[in-house]
Amino acid sequence: MIRPLTTQNILAIESSCDETAVALLRGEGDAAQLVADRIASQIDLHARFGGVVPELASRAHMRILPTMVREVMDSAGWVWDDLDAVAVTAGPGLMGALLVGVSFARGLAAAKKIPLLPIHHLEGHLLAAGLDGALPPFPFVSLLVSGGNTLLVRVDGVGHYRLLGQTLDDAAGECFDKCARALGLAYPGGPAIAKAAQRGDGRRFALPRPMLRKPNLNFSFSGLKTAVAYLLRDQPELRNDPQGVADVAAGVEVAIAEVLAVKALAACREHGCRALVIAGGVAANHRLRQELARRCHVVGVGLHLPQGHHCTDNAAMIAYAAWHRLRLGLPIPPRDSWDARARWPIEELTIDD
Ligand code: KG4
């Protein structure tokens, strides 16, 4: 157990997938100030493959991370001796990509003899709303929607997380990406579908709302992807008609937004939570934001939307989660007792009272 300190200068690294990110955060008492926040996306590198290529992702992290850390430190006017702790995403994610950040962080913390905090990537997302305003009062529900995850989590406090529901197959972002590919749209598919959908009629095709009426908080998006595949198989001319593409895109977007919003509000209702936070790349989707805002307004639930660059993968959220852990004196595993973890269930983070 580390003793709570009043001032903490934290350097954080995120390299779990296809973003290399470094942030500096200064915590003083109960306040945290983001000093630097840098993200380098690898989208251009992976676009021609239609998805993230793990080996290329690891190599790109290797190339960019040392320079990025140096530039971020210089931009803030910090020197190595200013650092009190190093935080790093230790999982879940792509193993090779994680190892780049973890190895760098380990080396730095060992050289400077300062604490090293392995942070769960999803804990970063769950708390990220606090970077752009105060965190809502506990307990709140977080809807985490990205390319790899679709989860509903009840956040009872820092280090107290309860998984309420998750996707049984494809994540919402994955469904956007696969439907976009079927329509011949660019990667990543979410923004491409959102753009095409602006001119589309979401009611032209009756696409399914998977699991909408099921009495649980789980999701399933593979049926929606399959419905789009069958629609395009039966009406191949749609792919060559801009209006057809726009209408299918709008149908996909409306279906995903509706399912996510209905389930998120059901989670708030069933768990007596008055606040809902959304996070993850799909949280950037305007239609989803509008749908959530409308439904939250009707039932009096407060909606908390982090800024776009704090919804997607970033290191500021890792620094922020680390700061909370230090501030509260939560246990930090000894440096040699942990490693990067490709799989790491969020429930394992929950500490006993
Ligand atoms: O959290 P994130 O940046 O990274 C990982 O999951 O690794 O999420 C990426 C996902 C992709 O599936 C992408 O298509 C989706 O978020 N996405 C969107 C939008 N922007 C990104 N989906 C729908 N609408 C958007 N505007």
Average pLDDT over residues 319-330: 94
Report residue 38 as tokens. 């840098």
Are the beta carbons of 142 and 157 closer than 8 angstroms? no
Are the beta carbons of 99 and 67 closer than 8 angstroms? no
For ligand 1, atom 1, which residue shows the shortest CA distance?
Answer: 281
What pLDDT, on a 0 to 100 scale, did the predictor assign at position 29?
Answer: 86
Spell out the long-range contacts of 25-29 with Cβ–Cβ below 8 A and sequence spacing 24 or more: 25/316, 25/319, 25/320, 25/322, 25/323, 27/323, 27/326, 27/327
Which of the four pLDDT bands, split at 50, 70 and 90, describes residue 353? low
Q: Report the nearest atom of ligand 1 relative to the CA of 189.
A: 14
What pLDDT, on a 0 to 100 scale, did the predictor assign at position 2?
Answer: 52
For ligand 1, atom 22, which residue shows the shortest CA distance?
Answer: 190
Q: 47 C-alpha vs ligand 1 centroid, how far in Å?
A: 13
% of the chain beyond a pLDDT of 90: 87
Pocket test for ligand 1, best of 41, 89, 98, 176 (most atoms within 8 A of CB): 176
Average pLDDT over residues 212-222: 95
Res. 137: pLDDT tops 70: yes
Measure the CA–CA gap between 350 and 353, rounded to whole angstroms: 9
What pLDDT, on a 0 to 100 scale, did the predictor assign at position 134?
Answer: 85
What pLDDT, on a 0 to 100 scale, did the predictor assign at position 306?
Answer: 87
Average pLDDT over residues 267-280: 96
Most confident by average pLDDT, 2-16, 113-127, 337-351: 113-127
Q: 58 C-alpha vs ligand 1 centroid, how far in Å?
A: 20
Res. 220: pLDDT tops 70: yes
Average pLDDT over residues 19-29: 96
Residues paired with 10 in a beta bridge: 25, 85
> In the predicted model, what is the mean pLDDT of the chain?
94
Nearest alpha carbon to residue 194 among 122, 117, 124, 257: 257
Res. 223: pLDDT tops 50: yes
For ligand 1, atom 21, which residue shows the shortest CA distance?
Answer: 281
Q: Report the nearest atom of ligand 1 relative to the CA of 287.
A: 24
Q: 145 C-alpha vs ligand 1 centroid, how far in Å?
A: 8
What pLDDT, on a 0 to 100 scale, did the predictor assign at position 133?
Answer: 85
For ligand 1, atom 6, which residue shows the shortest CA distance?
Answer: 147
Measure the CA–CA gap between 24 and 305, rounded to whole angstroms: 22
pLDDT, one tens digit per residue, over 167-176 is 999 999 999 9
% of the chain beyond a pLDDT of 70: 97
What pLDDT, on a 0 to 100 scale, did the predictor assign at position 331?
Answer: 81
For ligand 1, atom 10, which residue shows the shortest CA distance?
Answer: 147
Pocket around ligand 1 at a 6 A CB cut-off: 17, 146-148, 173, 176-177, 188-191, 194, 280-282, 284-285, 312-313
Residue type, 186: A
Outline where DSSP puts E strands in the chain.
7-14, 19-28, 31-41, 85-91, 116-120, 140-145, 150-157, 160-166, 275-279, 302-304
Pocket test for ligand 1, best of 282, 286, 305, 317 (most atoms within 8 A of CB): 282
Q: Give the DSSP H/E element, type plus range, for residue 227.
A: helix 222-234
Average pLDDT over residues 307-311: 88
pLDDT, one tens digit per residue, over 86-110 is 999 999 999 999 999 999 999 999 9
- Please report, for the chain, how many H helices and E strands are present, in that order: 11, 10
Length reported for the chain: 353
What pLDDT, on a 0 to 100 scale, did the predictor assign at position 3?
Answer: 46
For ligand 1, atom 13, which residue shows the shortest CA distance?
Answer: 190
What pLDDT, on a 0 to 100 scale, did the predictor assign at position 307?
Answer: 87
Pocket test for ligand 1, best of 14, 144, 292, 312 (most atoms within 8 A of CB): 312
Pocket test for ligand 1, best of 42, 94, 146, 317 (most atoms within 8 A of CB): 146
Tell me which DSSP letter residue 241 carries: -
Which of the four pLDDT bands, split at 50, 70 and 90, describes residue 34? very high
